[in-house]
Amino acid sequence: MKKTLSAAVLCVTLAAPAFAGCDKPSAPSAIPDGKTAAMDDMMAAKKAVDAFRKGTEDYLSCEKNSGKAETAQAELEKVAARFNAEVRAFKAKG
């Protein structure tokens, strides 16, 4: 009985990492207004957006539900479009 229980616990423990990596990342909470933001704010936003992109790519590589994957892809595109618009506004202010 002990051997069976130990083997079951070992199997679950070893299999857990295979199921652990499919968490949908959260989008950045705020993207600064490019018209008024400082360079440091824009760089921090870029790092947050890049991390979100990487996390979403990892999520998309393991998510098997096509509806969830499409929703995550659409959210990534929306965040990227918003950030790119703010970058253009930042660059335009000179």
Quote the CA–CA distance of 63 and 24 in Å, as a whole number: 9
Q: Are the C-beta atoms of residues 72 and 63 closer than 8 Å to each other?
A: yes
Instruction: Profile the chain (94 residues) by mean pLDDT over runs of 10 residues.
Output: 47 48 92 97 98 98 96 98 98 90
Task: Provide the residue ranges of all domains of the chain, joining segments of one domain with +.
Answer: 22-92
Take residue 78 and report the two structure tokens written for it.
Answer: 């929306």
How far are the Cα atoms of 18, 67, 74, 77, 89 from residue 70, in angstroms, in the given order? 22, 5, 6, 11, 29
Q: Are the C-beta atoms of residues 56 and 76 closer than 8 Å to each other?
A: yes
Quote the CA–CA distance of 15 and 5 in Å, as a whole number: 15
